[in-house]
């Protein structure tokens, strides 16, 4: 027997205890960044999800799509506007957001997974009132002695409640839910919600074993730019309070923090630019990013 064959067997043996540990468990994956754009990474992601399903894990996907929304808006002659990192979403922009996320992006992910042998079903938060939303208030601080300015950014929402019945029904029938982060308001109106925050809320509502965020960096960094391979909730609070975490990492850490408080066992923020990052994080001793634990030990 050749050495490559022996090495393959060793890889499978290393994965065995993790397969046994996660069998029958729910794993929520936030899909975004380069992993959604580059053809090789898209194929690898779909393969990872299908393999997870076939070894007994119950994957649930929440996807983003910000760059795709901006691209379509520009083609339609609409200018994307952001305030405090949030997309200003008037009714016209909301129509584009829903068209791109629920239509183009969601269906392409479903099709890709199905082509690799999975049984994926696309949803938005409006289906079965899956994601109940409320309007997000954005505050701009203009000075220490002045009250914050409240800015109306339109149909941007936050998760009020997740009703997971439809997800349980789909998973019981062997389907892989793929969720677009569009919520439903009290009057049936659509809200654009940050996909990281939706992923954490869905994971909490499902009592998931893990929530995994694919991003375009190695993981969570300290103030000197060094990778932090493991964090506790207390350390996450410190990173946010001390403003070490910046940009797109902030909603991921806030989402992970809320998910763990809701009972999710572990959160991971990993580098989606690495092919098969999901499998490496789930089924190897090393992992490829940052794990976040509820407490020490």
Note the pLDDT tens digit of each residue in 43-74.
999 999 999 999 999 999 999 998 999 999 99
- By the 8 A CB rule, do 202 and 84 touch? no
pLDDT (tens digit per residue) in 201-233: 999 999 999 999 999 989 998 888 888 989 999
Question: Which pLDDT score is estimated for 291?
Answer: 93
For residue 106, being part of any structural domain is answered with yes
Q: Coil, strand or helix: which one is 289?
A: strand
* Structure confidence by residue, pLDDT tens digits, 5-50: 777 788 788 889 999 999 999 999 999 988 898 999 999 999 999 9
Q: Residue 226 domain-assigned?
A: no
Instruction: Please indicate, yes or no, if residue 72 is contained in any of the structural domains.
Output: yes
Q: What CATH number corresponds to the domain at position 124?
A: 3.40.1160.10
Q: Residue count of the chain, please give it.
A: 297
Is residue 283 included in any domain, yes or no? no
Q: Which residues contact 214 (CB under 8 A, 6 or more apart)?
A: 29, 30, 31, 32, 33, 35, 45, 270, 271, 272, 277, 278
Look up tokens 């020490």; give the residue. 296
Name the residue range of residue 147's domain. Answer: 25-203
Reading phi first (left if > 0) and then psi (alpha if -120 to 50, else beta), residue 42 is in alpha
Range 99-114 average pLDDT: 96
Confidence at residue 23, expressed as pLDDT on a 0 to 100 scale: 96
Taking every pair of C-alpha atoms in the chain, what is the biggest distance, in angstroms? 75
User: What is the structure's pLDDT at 224?
Assistant: 82
The per-residue pLDDT for range 280-292, each reduced to its tens digit, is 999 988 778 999 9
Say what the pTM is.
0.92
Query: Hey, what are 69's tokens?
Result: 């929304």
Residue 118 lies in a domain: yes
pLDDT higher at 1 or 244: 244
**Angle, vertex CA 10, rays to CA 6 and CA 13, nearest 5:** 140
Q: Is residue 81 situated within a structural domain?
A: yes
Instruction: Assess if residue 52 is contained within a domain.
Output: yes
In angstroms, rounded to a whole number, what is the distance separating the alpha carbons of residues 114 and 119?
Answer: 5
- In the chain, how many domains are there? 1
Residue 86 in any domain: the answer is: yes
């Amino acid at each position: 027997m050749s050495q490559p064959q022996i090495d393959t067997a060793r890889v499978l043996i290393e994965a065995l205890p993790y397969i046994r540990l996660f069998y029958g468990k729910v794993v929520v994956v936030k899909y975004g960044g380069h992993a959604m754009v580059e053809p090789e990474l898209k194929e690898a992601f779909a393969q990872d999800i299908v393999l997870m399903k076939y070894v007994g894990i119950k994957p649930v996907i929440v996807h983003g799509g910000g760059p795709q929304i901006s691209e379509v808006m520009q083609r339609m002659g609409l200018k994307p506007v952001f305030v405090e990192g949030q997309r200003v979403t008037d009714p016209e922009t909301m129509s584009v957001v829903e068209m791109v996320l629920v239509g183009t992006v969601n269906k392409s992910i479903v099709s890709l997974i199905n082509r690799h042998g999975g049984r994926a079903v696309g949803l938005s938060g409006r289906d079965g009132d899956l994601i109940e939303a409320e309007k997000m208030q954005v505050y701009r601080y203009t000075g220490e002695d002045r009250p914050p300015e409240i800015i109306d950014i339109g149909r941007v929402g936050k998760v009020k409640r997740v009703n997971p019945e439809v997800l349980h029904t789909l998973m019981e029938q062997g389907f892989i839910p793929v969720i677009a982060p569009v919520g439903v308001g009290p009057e049936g109106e659509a809200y654009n919600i940050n996909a990281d925050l939706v992923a954490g809320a869905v994971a909490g509502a499902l009592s998931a074993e893990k929530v995994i965020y694919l991003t375009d960096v190695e993981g969570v960094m300290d103030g000197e730019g060094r990778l932090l391979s493991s964090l506790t909730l207390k350390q996450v609070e410190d990173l946010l309070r001390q403003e070490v975490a910046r940009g797109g990492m902030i909603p991921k850490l806030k989402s992970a923090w809320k998910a763990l408080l809701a009972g999710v066992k572990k959160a991971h923020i990993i580098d989606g630019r690495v092919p098969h990052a999901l499998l490496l994080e789930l089924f190897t001793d090393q992992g490829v990013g940052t794990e976040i634990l509820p407490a020490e030990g």
